[in-house]
Structure 1
Amino acid sequence: MDDDGPSFAQDLDDDSDKVVVDSAFADLKRFGILQTRYYAHTHPSQPNYLAAVAGDYWGLDHDEVVRIPPNVSTIVDLLEPKQISWRGYFEGIPGPGYMAEASVGRPENQSPNGTWDYVRKHNPFVSYDSVNYEGSRLLNLLSFDDFQDDFAAGVVPQFVMMSPNMLNDGHNTTLDYATNWAREFLKPILTDGAFAEKTLVQLTYDETEDYSQPNRIVSLLLGSAVPEKLWGTTDETFYTHYSILSTMENNWELPNLGRFDVGANVFQLVADATGYVNKDPPNVASVNNSVSYPGPLNRNHSTKVTTFPPPNLKLTGAGGKPILKSISQAWKSEARLDTPYDGSGAVYDGDNLPVYKGQG
Structure 2
Amino acid sequence: MLRIRLAVAAAAAALTAGVVVTVVAQQDTPTGVRPAAASVPQFDHVVLVMFENKKYSSINGSSSAPEFNALANQGAKFTQSFAITHPSQGNYVALFSGGPQGVVDDTCPANLGTKGNLGQQLIAAGRTFKGYSEAMPSDGYTGCSSGTYRRKHNSWVDFSNVPAASNVRFSTFPSDYSQLPTVAFVTPDMCNDMHDCSVGTGDTWLKKNLDAYAQWAKTHNSLLIITFDEDSGTSVNQIFTAFVGAHVKVGSYSESINHYTVLRTIEASYGLAALGNAASKSPILDTWQ
- The TM-score range, normalised by the shorter chain, is 0.7 to 0.9
2:151 to 120, 128, 133: 120
2:284 match? 267
SS at match of 1:129: coil
Tell me whether 1:180 sits opposite 2:204 in the alignment.
Answer: yes
Distance (Å, rounded) in 2 between the aligned partners of 1:30 and 1:9: 17
Deviation at 1:40, TM superposition (A): 0.5
Q: How big is the shift at 1:187? A: 2.1
Tell me if the contact between 1:203 and 1:221 (Cα under 8 Å) persists in the aligned partners: yes
Distance in 2 (CA, whole Å) between partners of 1:212 and 1:206 is 13
Deviations 1:322-347 (A, max 9, x none): xxxxxxxxxxxxxxxxxxxxxxxxxx
Which residue in 2 is equivalent to 1:166?
Answer: 190
CA RMSD of aligned residues (A): 2.0
- 1:249 to 1:89, Cα distance in 2 relative to 1, 3 A: same
Alpha-carbon distance change, 50 to 69 in structure 1, aligned in 2, over 3 angstroms: closer
Q: Does 2:113 match 1:70?
A: yes
* Aligned equivalent of 2:170: 144
* Residue equivalent to 2:70: 27
Cα separation, 1, equivalents of 2:110 and 2:235:
30
**Distance in 2, Cα, partners of 1:70 & 1:213:** 30
Q: How many residues align?
A: 246
- 8 Å CA contact 1:190–1:224 kept in 2: the answer is no
Is residue 8 from structure 1 mapped to residue 39 from structure 2 by the alignment? no
Query: Which is greater in Rg?
Result: 2
Query: 240, 243, 246: which one pairs with 2:261?
Result: 243
Change in CA separation of 1:42 and 1:4 when aligned onto 2, cut-off 3 Å = closer
Structure 2 contact 43–223 (Cα < 8 Å) conserved: no
CA gap of 1:92–1:124, structure 2 versus 1, over 3 A, is same
Distance 1:168 1:254 in 2: 32
Q: 1:69: Cα distance to partner? A: 4.2
CA deviation after TM superposition for structure 1 residue 16, in Å: 1.2
- Paired with 1:68 and 1:261, the residues of 2 have a C-alpha distance of 21
Pick the aligned partner of 1:222 from 216, 225, 244: 244
Instruction: Give the unaligned 5+ runs of structure 1.
Output: 105-115, 132-136, 274-360
1:207 aligned residue (210, 218, 230): 230
TM-score of the superposed pair, with normalisation by structure 2: 0.79
- Structure 1 residue 94 and structure 2 residue 137: aligned? yes
- Do the aligned partners of 2:177 and 2:213 also contact (CA within 8 Å) in 1? no
Residue type matched to 1:58 in 2? Q
Structure 1 position 151, deviation (Å):
3.0
Q: Give me the whole-angstrom Cα distance separating, in 2, the residues matched to 1:163 and 1:153.
A: 17
Higher RCO (CA-CA < 8 Å; seq separation 6+): 2
Identity, in percent, stands at 24
Contact 1:65–1:127 (Cα < 8 Å) also in 2: no
Q: CA deviation at 1:164?
A: 0.4
Give the gaps of 5 or more residues in structure 2.
Answer: 1-39
